[in-house]
Structure 1
Amino acid sequence: MRQVGKAARFIKSSTLWRRNMRCSKLIATIIVLMISASITQAQWTTAPGAVAEANDFGLVDYSNREIIATGIGAVPPNAPNVGAARANAIRAAKVDALRNLVEAVKAVRVTSETTVSNNMVENDIVRTKVEAMVRGAQQVGDVKYLSDASVELTMSVPMSGIMDVVLPTTVTAAPPPAG
């Protein structure tokens, strides 16, 4: 009879322990998400007085007329040596940054009702030219080597080239007012 009591207490205590662990994991996950959100927000800080708009993929800096995005690349586990691993991680970060840059460009507002994405969907020529502009993006700063062996790379593209493609090239004069 005494053995049953010990077993019941053990089961009860292990159930409480599991419940506490679940709560701890949930709290830890929430804390990590809050920290990563604040880091992401801090990453896109600009100079005081600058006009910029951050979205999920990058930053549209209207003051400097550029669109900026960051990519992260992981070191492949099957790389033959450290140099190849680093080169592959940098290449992956660049591809990720370019992908994020395309998405950031798509979010740029052309008018109050349309975005670059709308123009890209409606016109294949616009889509092709915008993607070509993004492929010509320049690296901003140095590659950052993170503590988990991944790398971070930031790329930018000038807004002038994108807007030249998206905005109409000819402007027609409004008819004179009747009167």
Structure 2
Amino acid sequence: MRFMRSMAAATACLLLLAAQAFAQDFGNADYVQDMDTGAVNWQTGYVTAKGIGVPPPNSVSLAQARGMAIRAATVDARRNLLSMIKGVQIDAQTTVQNAMIADDTVVERVRGFLQNSQILDTAYMSDGSVEVSVGMNLRGGLANALIPPETPFFVPGGSMLAPSPVPGPVPQMTDNGTVPAHGTEGPLAPAPENNAPFTGLLVDARGLGARPAMSPRLLDETGKEVYGTASVSREYAIQQGMAGYGKDMDKAAANPRVAGHPLVVKAVAVDGKARTNLVISNDDAAKLRELAPGQDFLEKCRVMIVLD
């Protein structure tokens, strides 16, 4: 009996270690921006931050000291979380901080969500101080508050992937000063033999110094939009985000957002000062526009972008 218990315990430990390894391996595929006070996971859309609180010297009891340290740590963590969120790019031109400066109602809404941010962990230090971790999602209610109501979104029955009325700026070149020839670095995946629809779009943007944003855009080489808010349903954009971000092509292709038979394209350049908009070849853009009317993976934001 003792042997069987030992074997069961050993098996449980092995299973736990395997699960932890799998979770760590999967997490490593996410694109995470680490900053001094926290991190932004651009695959999950979750922003986290930590804060430290110390007990006041005039505490009358250990319970009071600990409670006040937790409260101070939570305030510090949410202050750091606000700092993190302010630095997030909404699109190529606007950060959350820009949006808050431009509109007082955005300030009120962001602060409201901040006060309701989730306490993820509380750690008690040997010196009596407390570290609190808090987090909140950029998607859902916060995204709805940050993306202006007048932003054009796709409406079922409307036209998807229509060219921009005014061509955008000339795309920035790659590091070697040129735009690669059409389709030479990332031909679209061939359609399956049974003509099954594509399950998503996978964009390889490695090697370009591209950065993530809540509302990224795909452009062709003339600056006309191929994918943006006008291509997606607002509901999907708010709840799921315009795109997920990863740092491994194979794992991104297996992500539930696009898994099955994703269409693969190679970004050839970045556009804009924030480097969040991606340029694909005119040939790939034409093929994507041709596919769009018959398939809804863009409307449903089934897009993964792989960055360095």
- TM-score normalised by length of structure 1: 0.68
What does 1:67-146 align with in structure 2 at a 5 Å threshold? 67-141=47-121, 143-146=122-125
Q: 2:228 maps to what in 1? A: none
- Deviation per CA, 1:96-145, whole angstroms, max 9, x where unpaired? 0111111111011111232100100111000110110111101113x111
Offset at residue 52 of structure 1 (A): 1.3
Q: Give 1:56 shift.
A: 2.7
- 2:133 is the counterpart of 1:154: yes
AA at the equivalent of 2:134: M
* SS, match of residue 148 in structure 2: coil
**For structure 1, which runs of at least 5 residues remain unmatched after alignment?**
1-45
CA distance in 2: counterparts of 1:79 and 1:113, whole angstroms: 48
Aligned to 1:39: none
Larger radius of gyration: 1
> Percent sequence identity over matched residues?
34
Residue deviations 1:9-36 (CA, integer Å, cap 9, x gap): xxxxxxxxxxxxxxxxxxxxxxxxxxxx
- Residues in 2 aligned to 1:64 and 1:152: alpha-carbon distance in whole angstroms: 23
Deviation for aligned residue 1:84:
0.3
In structure 2, give the amino acid aligned to 1:69: A
Q: Secondary structure at the match of 1:54?
A: strand
Matched to 1:136, the amino acid is: N
User: How far apart in 1 are the matches of 2:78 and 2:88?
Assistant: 16
Q: Which residue identity does 2:65 align to in structure 1?
A: A
More helix by share: 1
Q: For 1:64, which of 32, 44, 59 is the aligned residue? A: 44
Q: Quick one: distance in 1 between partners of 2:164 and 2:28?
A: 43
Once superposed, what is the RMSD of the aligned Cα atoms? 2.2
List per-residue Cα deviations over 1:19-66 (Å, max 9, x = no partner).
Answer: xxxxxxxxxxxxxxxxxxxxxxxxxxx921111112233211111211
Measure how far apart 1:171 and its partner are.
Answer: 3.7
Matched with 1:52 is 32
* Aligned counterparts, 1:159-174, within 5 A: 159-160=138-139, 161-172=141-152
> Shift in Å at residue 175 of structure 1?
8.0
